Amino acid sequence: DAGVIQSPRHEVTEMGQEVTLRCKLISGHNSLFWYRQTMMRGLELLIYFNNNVPIDDSGMPEDRFSAKMPNASFSTLKIQPSEPRDSAVYFCASSPDNDREKLFFGSGTQLSVL
């Protein structure tokens, strides 16, 4: 298995533009997590899905952020409109139902909003 796959690896955009980050889960995994990492705040949990249903989105910063799981293997995190303070590394992670305590992380998307 290729592991959790995120795209793009790097994204540079201008303030006000829409940004879409993508994540492909490991086959057979049922839970999906989006995290954001900055120097100031470390790793922050944004949202968690189980079986395609959002379970906890309390970490989503504001209405500019939205996340979806259109199917069991794929998720998107959208920021519209983007702001410079959204610059960070965004990670997604997945875990299987029979071993939820092991999160498998992707390589992350480095987002820079100018």
Partner 1 sequence: DAKTTQPPSMDCAEGRAANLPCNHSTISGNEYVYWYRQIHSQGPQYIIHGLKNNETNEMASLIITEDRKSSTLILPHATLRDTAVYYCIVKNTGNQFYFGTGTSLTVIP
Q: Whole-number minimum distance, CB 58 to partner 1, in Å?
A: 9
DSSP three-state, residue 91: strand
Interaction pattern, residues 53-72, with partner 1; x per rule: CB under 8 A? ---x----------------
Q: Whole-number minimum distance, CB 63 to partner 1, in Å?
A: 22
DSSP string, 24-80: EPPTT--EEEEEEEETTTEEEEEEEEETTEEEE-TT--STTEEEEEEETTEEEEEES
- Positions that interact with partner 1 (CB under 8 A): 4, 33, 35, 42-43, 45, 48, 56, 91, 93, 100-108
